[in-house]
Amino acid sequence: MQRHDFAYELPPELIAQTPLAERSASRLLVLEGADGRLVPRDRTMRDFPGLLSPGDLLVFNDTKVVAARLAGTKPSGGRVEIFLERVVGTQEAVVQLRASKPIREGLEVTTAGGMVRVLGREGDLWRVEFPGPALEFFEQWGDVPLPPYIHRAADANDRERYQSIFARERGAVAAPTASLHFDSQLIREIEALGVNRAFVTLHVGAGTFQPVRTDDLESHVMHAERVSVSAATCEAIERTRADGGRIVAIGTTVVRALESAALAARDAAGWSGETRLFIRPGFNFQVTDALLTNFHLPESTLLMLVCAFAGKDPVLAAYEHAVRARYRFFSYGDAMFLTKARVGG
């Protein structure tokens, strides 16, 4: 398959620039079976509990977004933007650096928190040293790393709303956005149904916003992201399977974590490591039965994952419906609920 097979037209005004007043007020597009085909149905997130059954297992990503965007200046006075990719030592991190003129090794950048020194290149990224623990430095002096398609500066509201209510493991530079639709009231309604909950950790990297640059998908190399799937979550999945329940992934990051763990370790002992798993049509899903996810960018690896899960034609048809029905797209936008396509579907 080619990159352009996953293109669609999106009017820019449908890209959500701010969150809704209430997390669970989002619309929900459900792909439901009818006469042997999948049909999009318009619902809301408050209808989501009615799509679940007692004994189902919802799996959330509990990563916490770091204030990963940091402004600085060169000795010449030129501006530099430092965007965290991942911490690699107590005082070191791999980052994206953006500046009007080329960056060089040894450059010292002045920030509000002190001097940051560029140690050297790491592929398309840079390794830098901070004057104190890197994560704490970003948390104190950085800004919320809103995605590039949100055309405004982050404000105080984003500190809360670009973070799920389950966020607890610091390390992401982008939110696992499907989980942003859940508030305490919605969770109480789901719990009352006898639906269970488990967690994985996948620290979303800045590479999630990088476009696929090759037309041939076989040539695309995914960015690495850190993953942890605990033994407790593996055991919860096994119990759910044994009792006939479904594994419902809350977001594409959860799908990648679960399927990466399944490929790496085929027992209930849990798994931690880095994943570069690129899920596209033809992938054999071993764990995930249903998926709640936001709408994704045209030609993105996340859209390819969703097409692999529920079928390219029905997913792209659902996206066309979402555009016509004026759904809100991307991180602060609305959601979709899908079930796994049958083999050959």
Query: Which of these three, 88, 119, 142, is where a domain ends?
Result: 142
What's the average model confidence in pLDDT over 260-281?
Answer: 88
Contact (Cβ atoms closer than 8 angstroms) between residue 181 and residue 335 = yes
Position 151 in a domain: no
pLDDT band at 208 (very low <50, low <70, confident <90, very high): confident
Amino acid 84 reads L
Position 225 in a domain: yes
Task: Please report where in the chains the tokens 């989501």 appear, as a residue.
Answer: 48
What's the average model confidence in pLDDT over 63-81?
Answer: 95
Task: Specify whether 118 is located in the same domain as 88.
Answer: yes
Give me the pLDDT at residue 86, please: 85
What percent of the chain has pLDDT above 90? Answer: 83
State pLDDT tens for residues 241-253: 999 999 999 999 9
Expressed as residue numbers, the domain containing 138 is 69-142
Q: What is the 3-state secondary structure (H, E, C) of the chain?
A: CEHHHHCCCCCHHHECCCCCCCHHHCEEEEEEEECCEEEEEEEEHHHHHHHCCCCCEEEEECEEECCCEEEEECCCCCEEEEEEEEECCCCEEEEEEEECCCCCCCCEEEECCEEEEEEEEECCEEEEECCCCHHHHHHHHCECCCCCCCCCCCCHHHHHHCCCCCCCEEEECCCCHHHHHCCHHHHHHHHHCCCEEEEEEEECCHHHHCCCCCCEHHHCCCCCEEEEECHHHHHHHHHHHHCCCCEEEECHHHHHHHHHHHHHCCCCCCEEEEECCCCCCCCCCCCCCEEEEECCCCCCHHHHHHHHHHCHHHHHHHHHHHHHCCCCECCCCCEEEEECCCCCC
What's the average model confidence in pLDDT over 178-188?
Answer: 98
pLDDT band at 304 (very low <50, low <70, confident <90, very high): very high
Task: Specify whether 172 is located in the same domain as 314.
Answer: yes
Give me the pLDDT at residue 216, please: 87
Contact (Cβ atoms closer than 8 angstroms) between residue 306 and residue 338 = yes
Give me the pLDDT at residue 100, please: 87
Task: Specify whether 307 is located in the same domain as 172.
Answer: yes
State pLDDT tens for residues 5-32: 999 999 999 999 999 999 999 999 999 8
C-beta neighbour count of 163 within 10 angstroms: 18
Give me the pLDDT at residue 34, please: 64
Position 150 in a domain: no
Query: Which of these three, 83, 114, 142, is where a domain ends?
Result: 142
Give me the pLDDT at residue 345, please: 39
Task: Specify whether 9 is located in the same domain as 135.
Answer: no
Name the domain count of the chain.
2
Task: Specify whether 307 is located in the same domain as 163.
Answer: yes
Tell me how far the alpha carbon of residue 244 is from its chain's centroid. 28
pLDDT band at 209 (very low <50, low <70, confident <90, very high): confident
Task: Specify whether 192 is located in the same domain as 322.
Answer: yes
Strand partners, 228: 201, 272
State pLDDT tens for residues 146-174: 999 999 999 999 999 999 999 999 999 99
Give me the pLDDT at residue 344, please: 43
**What value does the mean pLDDT of the chain take?**
93
Task: Specify whether 59 is located in the same domain as 122.
Answer: no
pTM above 0.85, yes or no: yes
- 302-319 b/e (C-beta count within 10 Å ≥ 16 → b): bbbbbbbbbbbebbbbbb
pLDDT of 343 strictly over 60: no
